[in-house]
Structure 1
Amino acid sequence: MSDTTHLLIPYAASASPGCQQALQGLALPHLDRLLARLSPHPAQSDSGEETTFSAPHERALARALGLPAQDGRIPWAAWHRHQQGQPADGAAWAFVTPCQWQVSTDHVTLRDPEHLALDEAASRALLAIVSPWFAEDGITLHYDQPTRWLARSPLFALLATASLERVLLRDVRAWMPDAREARTLHRLHSEMQMLLYTHAFNDERTARGLPVINSFWVHGTGPLPVPAPTSATAPTVPTTLRGAALNEDWRAWAAAWTALDAGPVADLLRKAEGGTPVLLTLCGERNTLAFHTAPRTLAQRFQSLFRPQRFAELREKL
């Protein structure tokens, strides 16, 4: 598949009534023409539920890169280190994202960390505050970027965790790792909330009108397989639908789809029409549907002419 141009589209559809309504008036001519040329690729498709820890596009991307695609155990943190040229040493790594849990009467919502206005200096200061607590439980933290740290511990070897995108703006209680397997993390969550509740770090943020940081989220857990996957050509993964879908802004989502159809999808169509092998992967909240360039029988060609496959017929399958 190394010579195949692969376009992987996350958040292509949702079961949300608002999304289904937006889809009714959505015209995607290039996508429909592309689907009419391509054949289903069952080997690259999969099915799941909205409650899986790993979103469909994460599972699809893991498969494309040759990574393990077990639910909640895609080793994104270890892969990130590997891509940076740092040895994984067979160790289990995880991402740790400092965040705010907004507590209400019946919800504990994880706010988008990108809205916390964390810069590198503040993130490193917070890391220095919490690192000793994690170290007592054998978890070593390393700075990676303002809203994401790296963590190393045997605890992450087999622990399934929900990806950050699954839990954003949702009730965290439905996405917590198994209490029996993650007793340490559950306790650390409680300790961090108590530590940060009255800490000067948050007092200063409050004085500046910034959101407080009172918790963290662990994701991307696991070790890389040995040997690590060889370098594969990563698919193109546009993120333009993500923000609107997570915020359920379906008008903005439809506008983003229109732009996507006129841009990357139209480019892929031109390549397919020019004879380049292509792979299109559409990902919703539950399932993945893949389509590729493949020889078709005469009957299939006639069918595509008189009853071409269109996105409107596929959206409910995602």
Structure 2
Amino acid sequence: MSPVLDCFIPGLNPPPDEEGATWLRPEETPWLNRWLQRHPPSAVRNDPAQDAQARLLPGTVVRASAAWLAECQSQPALATAPTATLPTGSSLAFLHPVHLQAGIDTAVVLGERFLALTPDERRAFETDLRAFLAEDALHLLTAPSGRWYLAIPPDSPLGDAALPPLGEALNRSAQSFFEGDERRALRRWLTELQMWLYSHPVNAERARRGQPEMNSLWLWARSPFPATVNPAATPGAGTLFTDLPSLAGCWPGRSQLIDSRAIESLIEAIQQNPESPLHLVWTEPAYALLEGDFAGWQQALRTVEQCLASLPAGWRSRIRLDTGAGARALPGWRNLWGRLG
């Protein structure tokens, strides 16, 4: 039996808005649009990273420690550097810049796409944030991708808690996510952090320009460090291409992190290993939807279109695409490409 290209790309086909408008632009993604029109829309209800982990590796959880090591595989010295200073029992967590938009009796969580920090602004925050965190023996780690991680020693002022996945909180009220006695120490620490961020020069300048401020950080997927990257290979697992370092770090086979600029690596892998099972997990469309990033979602669709349209002809009838509503084969794509191409 010929191997398939198993694609999990949540957020490709969202329901229309309240007025019945859709985000699809058939003229920009004609092939993908024809398929999506024949399949029911699927809302993004949960965190895409969690959904992907549950679909491909049931029974596992998203771990920031595995993600960090997976991101740093090309730079082993960077991946192991924290072990020189962190005591036994330390942990790692994702640390995402967010804006808590004040409302009536609550605040709404808005993410990095809404903030749109410039590279210079991120570097300025990183430099000063490291010094602020060091006062509590916390360490800010920056992966080659630019993602932030927090290294937490035992007995830190954060306690043992973390927040729920960011995807569950985006564009929702933040209040319920901070509740509970188990998060009391974390709430106290976040209050101090928010006061420090309020007076930061970058935020002051952004406020002067009418731009949203990075007024908090979202800490989640806390897990013990160090962790093992890529456990023992499982025969038949195949090769995984994904934008999720947490999934790549747990995959029992070969994995490669990709972004919209490196999607061509999938095409190269198909050409080099025509009989190997392949998996593509790309969550950018879903996160763009969760943040209400219309332009980002459109770009994500164009990237998917480019990727699938560039596949070798023999693979076009072997695609299984899941947009979050369950796996669906695409048996008609071979003829569809013939008609359109």
- TM score, norm. by length of structure 1: 0.61
Shift of 1:31: 5.4
Residue 166 of structure 1: aligned partner: 168
Residue 138 of structure 2: aligned partner: 139
Residue 321 of structure 2: aligned partner: 280
Q: Taking structure 1 as reference, are residues 29 and 100 closer, same or farther at Cα in structure 2, changes over 3 Å only? A: closer
Residue 197 of structure 2: aligned partner: 196
For residue 7 of structure 1, give the secondary structure of its aligned residue in structure 2: strand
Residue 100 of structure 2: aligned partner: 101
For residue 67 of structure 2, give the secondary structure of its aligned residue in structure 1: helix
> How many residues are treated as equivalent by the alignment?
266
* 2:171 aligned partner, one-letter code: L
Residue 301 of structure 1: aligned partner: none
Segments of structure 2 that go 5 or more residues without pairing to the other structure are 27-31, 74-78, 84-88, 232-251, 256-278, 333-341
Shift of 1:186: 1.1
Whether the 8 Å CA contact 2:16–2:22 is kept in 1: the answer is no
Residue 213 of structure 1: aligned partner: 214
Segments of structure 1 that go 5 or more residues without pairing to the other structure are 36-48, 294-303, 306-318
Shift of 1:84: 1.5
Say whether 1:75 aligns with 2:63.
yes
Q: Taking structure 1 as reference, are residues 205 and 84 closer, same or farther at Cα in structure 2, changes over 3 Å only? A: same
Shift of 1:121: 3.7
Residue 299 of structure 1: aligned partner: none
For residue 188 of structure 1, give the secondary structure of its aligned residue in structure 2: helix
Deviations 1:83-142 (A, max 9, x none): 312248695311212332221223312233234343344323323434344344442212
Deviations 1:48-79 (A, max 9, x none): x94x5xx2x32343257759643xxx114532
Shift of 1:14: 5.2
Matches within 5 A, 1:1-318: 3-13=3-13, 18=18, 22=22, 28-30=33-35, 50=45, 55=47, 57-63=48-54, 66=57, 69-70=60-61, 74-76=62-64, 78-85=66-73, 86-87=79-80, 92-144=91-143, 148-154=147-153, 159=161, 161-176=163-178, 179-223=180-224, 226=228, 228-229=230-231, 230-233=252-255, 234-237=279-282, 239-240=284-285, 242-244=287-289, 246-247=291-292, 271=314, 274=317, 276=318, 278-283=319-324, 289-291=326-328
For residue 326 of structure 2, give the secondary structure of its aligned residue in structure 1: strand
Residue 261 of structure 2: aligned partner: none
For residue 97 of structure 1, give the secondary structure of its aligned residue in structure 2: strand
Q: Percent identity between the aligned chains?
A: 21
Whether the 8 Å CA contact 1:108–1:171 is kept in 2: the answer is yes
For residue 141 of structure 2, give the secondary structure of its aligned residue in structure 1: strand
Whether the 8 Å CA contact 1:98–1:148 is kept in 2: the answer is no
For residue 194 of structure 1, give the secondary structure of its aligned residue in structure 2: helix
Q: Taking structure 1 as reference, are residues 248 and 279 closer, same or farther at Cα in structure 2, changes over 3 Å only? A: same
Higher relative contact order (CA 8 A, sep 6+): 1
For residue 188 of structure 2, give the secondary structure of its aligned residue in structure 1: helix
Whether the 8 Å CA contact 1:7–1:281 is kept in 2: the answer is yes
Whether the 8 Å CA contact 1:92–1:221 is kept in 2: the answer is yes
Alpha carbon RMSD of aligned pairs, Å? 4.7
* 2:35 aligned partner, one-letter code: H
Q: Taking structure 1 as reference, are residues 265 and 96 closer, same or farther at Cα in structure 2, changes over 3 Å only? A: same
Shift of 1:151: 0.8
Deviations 1:234-287 (A, max 9, x none): 5142634643454286x997x78986886556678965665x4x443221xxxx
Question: Which deviates the most, 144-153 or 191-200?
Answer: 144-153
